[in-house]
A and B are shown apart, each in its own frame.
Chain A
């Protein structure tokens, strides 16, 4: 539920901002614990990881996976004070579904770990609702429901040609594979670095270009800092906009070479935002900036003759030096030590605080 709607329903609710920085620190701490158990740890989001334990069996003396999972859970708790839930299975798809059952919600009887043993995949899948499969969004779920399909067994019991007629060849094929628990994707350490993005859902829809511009500066500052922190540079800058009526639009641009500096990313993002706003104006509830086309920042960079690259979306050595200098200050005095003027002077953070009054 969007915060705005929650506040309409509960005007007295207190909204507190997410301490993003602290979350990031905790996330990295958890990641550090996980890598003690296996070298192959893939971050799926700030609070979600996939671990490939293949080959570590002897290390844990062939104990059941369930026990290793509990061991990991305790280690994370000990190191960070946070509790995590763990789902285990032979594929990522099943592990992701299993972790939902692992969460110790009241009345569920779950203890934080749920393992689907090899051989039990089909039986487990038979208990899954289609809406719980990742990749099945609300609209697709509606289409499936209209075709009389709500649970995995519904799909498996339907002849494939009927599914193809109802959903189209690709969707039918994909769905059947999912329902059979087939997932060939591997757990890869580096996959987390496919994109770096930040988005902000505003407490109150923003209408003025000036306000949006200021939020854009802040988002760019965050993604750029994150980008450099990971030792990466980006080729493609994307801007995402969600209008007040929940219509989501995006635009992106690929630059001639990888960039790291706020100035260049902002100049590109600004052009994209302007383009999106020209196409459709109106109150905006969410703004996001994503960087893709990530590659290792070329430390052995080719230096340029001219400091002024001649175009706003080209990066100069000066831009890079400035970005690194800002990072050095932030490392020493905290991420808020240096912020763009427009961000520093804005009235309140993106999420408004409401106090019961």
Chain B
């Protein structure tokens, strides 16, 4: 293998695929990137066996071939190189020489055959989605996944593809985010995808690009002409989230998002580090906040709201509310409630988008 590539192109590809390289691994080859020549240049791939990312970049190929190279060292070298063409030449199966201007490096690698093969996915029946649409779905839901290992199914984002909609749902069992977008040409399919893979999809594909998505046996693959992301799917039944979405919440508040955010941030300062408990008291024109934390102190605040329904006190984990508000796309939000121990919903008010977005959050039981 012998080729010449611009330093910028190489750097771009290394940054993209390095995200899939595990920081610690018992299998040495996973700490390496696979470099292979193609008709168009060179393809660089990295994997942690759960997620595999590859990117193809233009290069002048003199001799074809492939080799694996330590990911960290290669990235660190390329980052410091001057903006000149980079010459990569494999010396046998396990050594590569990198030259750029007056700089010259020899790195020990591993034979390309040791690099795990990417999952086999057939793109013949792939469906096509605008990357921007996926990005919107991912960024508004993935934050809500569980990070606890006790229930692996909740560590993923549920992606429901329907004939006319794309829907993503994520929850940690206490709060939930759900977004759907209109879509054409889908066939019914459900996947549970690790958020780390979705984050790569969100970052690596430009918003205006159209992606091909196809399913392998236990994998899902996203592909554009130059970039591919493969991810392992999380197996198992997703909890029946639709059943817990309240349909009869009859107390309705319309709140200014910025005001709510800043009041909650103030309250969070004195809220308990463990429960982050904030009490909200809804009244016809005023939303009152109060926090009492033993050994720390207390705080009160209030903001104007439009509220329909009987007055009600309800407790929440302030962090859950703050997170949800951060993703609400409109200036006003709609908050619906039923009972101090039932789920509350938060939705954008007068959203000019064709999609639908809702979050729900379970309260903290109040004792006083």
Contacts and interface: CB of A to CB of B under 8 A. Distances in A.
A55 interface: no
Interface in B140-156: 148-151, 153-154
B148 A305 contact: no
Interface residues of A, number: 15
B319 to A, nearest CB: 11
Given A298-B275, A299-B365, A310-B153, A304 B148 contact: no
A211 to B, nearest CB: 31
A95 B173 CA distance: 51
Contacts, number: 55
A314 B239 CA distance: 15
B317 interface: yes
A16 interface: no
Query: Secondary structure of the A side of the interface?
Result: loop
Contacts of A314: 150-151
A311 B366 contact: no
A298 B272 CA distance: 12
A293 to B, nearest CB: 15
Given A298-B275, A308-B239, A310-B239, A303 B150 contact: no
Contact of B174 (A300, A304, A311): A304
A305 B176 contact: yes
B362 interface: yes
B367 interface: yes
B171 A305 contact: yes
Contacts of B317: 302
B363 interface: yes
B366 A300 contact: yes
B150 A300 contact: no
Interface in A23-66: none
A310 B365 contact: no
B313 interface: no
A12 interface: no
Contacts of A17: none
Given A256-B150, A299-B365, A311-B150, A306 B275 contact: no
B148 A256 contact: yes
A282 interface: no
Contact of B367 (A299, A302, A305, A306): A299
B341 A303 contact: yes
Given A302-B317, A302-B362, A305-B176, A311 B171 contact: no
B173 A304 contact: yes
A302 B174 contact: yes
Nearest to A295: B274
A239 to B, nearest CB: 20
12 contacts: A256-B149, A299-B365, A299-B367, A300-B364, A301-B365, A302-B174, A302-B362, A303-B363, A305-B173, A305-B239, A305-B360, A309-B151
3 residue pairs, one from A and one from B, having the closest CB atoms = A303-B362, A256-B150, A299-B367
Interface of A: 256, 298-306, 308-311, 314
